[in-house]
């Protein structure tokens, strides 16, 4: 009899056969998540995007007093400040978003839909990377004007933003999904952004060996370097490509870790 225990001859379950509905495919669901996340910007993200841009412009104003116009230090300050916008949004804000979503049970919504984990992670990461485009462009242009740097190669941001964005948003998503508590996700995101600020904006030549090693470990460094190299009169394009390649490889790895972390967080 239904609902009672230990009654009835058969204890094995027999249910009517039902066809499985088709699962959502990777790209359409990625597009759906991306679009939904992008729409959130209107509600929740625009003030923070302003903050990200003002922070970077403010840092350049401060550094203007210490660094000579047109110098190689000026190149790292501008490149570092521009990539800092990416770190603020893609790493810090995305870590917070996934941390809070996980803590509040919001992942259940995605976990009960037949959607590939990669679409959720890539869709959110892609949207957060897209949020950084205006701020990074504004910072790059303002920086070039302030420090007398050529604007001619700013187009390289079209590669820097997605690749550094992939690396940093993958890292942010992984931190948010792996942190046992949302406060910890926020803290890790903030720390990551501070590291990107200090290690990216300040010229590397004067750093102690240990700090320089930490700088090499940070994925945003390669985005900064790639961008900084293009301010020269004759940029060394193979080096730029190499730096971008490192960003891309870190991006693939960190997004894979984030996808694994999502899977782990979704089913407990």
Partner 1 sequence: MSGPRTPSRTPYPVPSFLVSTRTSEAGPAQDTGTVVCAVRGLTKTYPAARGRRGAPSAPAVRATDDVRLDIRRGEIFGLLGPNGAGKSTLVRQLTGLLRPDAGTVEILGHDIVRHPDRAARLLAYLGQESTALDELTVSLAAETTGRLRGLPLKDARAERDAVIEELGLGPIAARPLKKISGGQRRLACFAAALVGERPLLVLDEPTTGMDPVARRAVWAAVDRRRAERGTTVLLVTHNVIEAETVLDRVAVVDRGRVIACDTPAGLKQQVASEVRVELVWREAAPTGLAEVDALREHAVEAGRRWSLRLAPDEARTAVATLTGGPAFDHLDDFSLATPSLEDVYLALGGSRSDVKGLVKA
Least Å distance, CB 31 to partner 1, is 8
How many residues bind partner 1, per CB under 8 A? 46
Q: Phi and psi dihedrals of 152, rounded to 5?
A: -60, -35
68 binds partner 1 (CB under 8 A): no
Decide whether 179 or 250 has the Cβ nearer to partner 1. Answer: 179
Radius of gyration of the chain (CA): 22
Among 138, 161, 158, 141, residue whose Cα is nearest residue 149: 141
**78 contacts 136 by C-beta, under 8 angstroms:** no
28-37 b/e (C-beta count within 10 Å ≥ 16 → b): ebbeebbeeb
Q: Which is nearer to partner 1, 7 or 66 (CB)?
A: 7
Q: Copy the structure tokens of residue 267.
A: 């089913």
- C-alpha angle 145-200-240 in degrees, rounded to nearest 5: 75
DSSP 41: I
Residue 205 interacts with partner 1 (CB under 8 A): yes or no: no
Choice from 9, 12, 47, 208 touching partner 1 (CB under 8 A): 12
Q: Does 39 bind partner 1 (CB under 8 A)?
A: yes
Which CB, 233 or 268, lies closer to partner 1? 268
Q: Is 9 in the site for partner 1 (CB under 8 A)?
A: no
Q: What is the CB neighbour count within 10 angstroms for residue 164?
A: 36
Closest approach of partner 1 to the CB of residue 178, in Å? 18
What span, in angstroms and rounded, lies between the C-alpha atoms of 170 and 167?
Answer: 5
- If one asks whether residue 11 binds partner 1 (CB under 8 A), the answer comes out as yes
Neighbours of 158 (CB within 10 A): 11
Minimum distance between the CB of residue 102 and partner 1, rounded to whole angstroms?
Answer: 9
The nearest distance, CB 264 to partner 1, in angstroms, is: 12
Considering beta carbons, is residue 214 or 260 the nearer one to partner 1? 260
Q: Using CB under 8 A, pick the residue from 9, 18, 205, 210 that binds partner 1.
A: 18
Contact status, residue 59 vs residue 134, Cβ threshold 8 Å: no
Ranges within 75-134 binding partner 1 (CB under 8 A): 100-101, 104-115, 119
Where along the sequence are the contacts to partner 1 (CB under 8 A)?
2-5, 11-18, 20-25, 28-29, 32-33, 35-36, 39-40, 43-44, 100-101, 104-115, 119, 266-268
């Amino acid at each position: 009899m239904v609902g009672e225990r230990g009654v009835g001859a058969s204890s094995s379950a027999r249910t009517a056969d039902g066809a499985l509905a088709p699962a959502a495919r990777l790209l359409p669901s990625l597009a759906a998540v991306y679009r939904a996340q992008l729409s959130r910007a209107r509600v929740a993200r625009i003030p923070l995007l302003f903050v990200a841009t003002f922070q970077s412009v403010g840092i350049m104003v401060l550094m203007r007093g210490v660094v000579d116009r047109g110098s190689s230090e000026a190149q790292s300050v501008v490149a570092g400040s521009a990539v800092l916008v990416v770190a603020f949004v893609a790493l810090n804000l995305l870590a917070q978003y996934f941390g809070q979503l996980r803590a509040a049970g919001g992942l259940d919504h995605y976990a009960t839909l037949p959607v590939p984990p990669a679409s959720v992670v890539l869709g959110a990461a892609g949207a957060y990377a897209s949020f950084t485009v205006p701020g990074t462009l504004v910072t790059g242009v303002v920086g070039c004007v302030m420090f007398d740097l050529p604007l001619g190669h700013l187009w390289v941001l079209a590669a820097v933003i997605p690749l550094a964005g992939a690396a940093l948003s993958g890292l942010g998503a992984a931190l948010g999904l792996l942190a046992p508590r949302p406060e910890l996700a926020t803290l890790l995101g903030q720390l990551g952004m501070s590291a990107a600020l200090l290690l990216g904006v300040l010229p590397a030549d004067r750093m102690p060996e240990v700090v320089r090693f930490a700088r090499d470990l940070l994925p945003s460094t390669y985005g900064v370097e790639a961008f900084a190299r293009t301010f020269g009169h004759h940029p060394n394009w193979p080096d730029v490509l190499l730096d971008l390649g490192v960003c891309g490889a870190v991006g693939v790895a960190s997004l894979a870790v984030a996808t694994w972390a999502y899977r782990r967080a979704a089913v407990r």
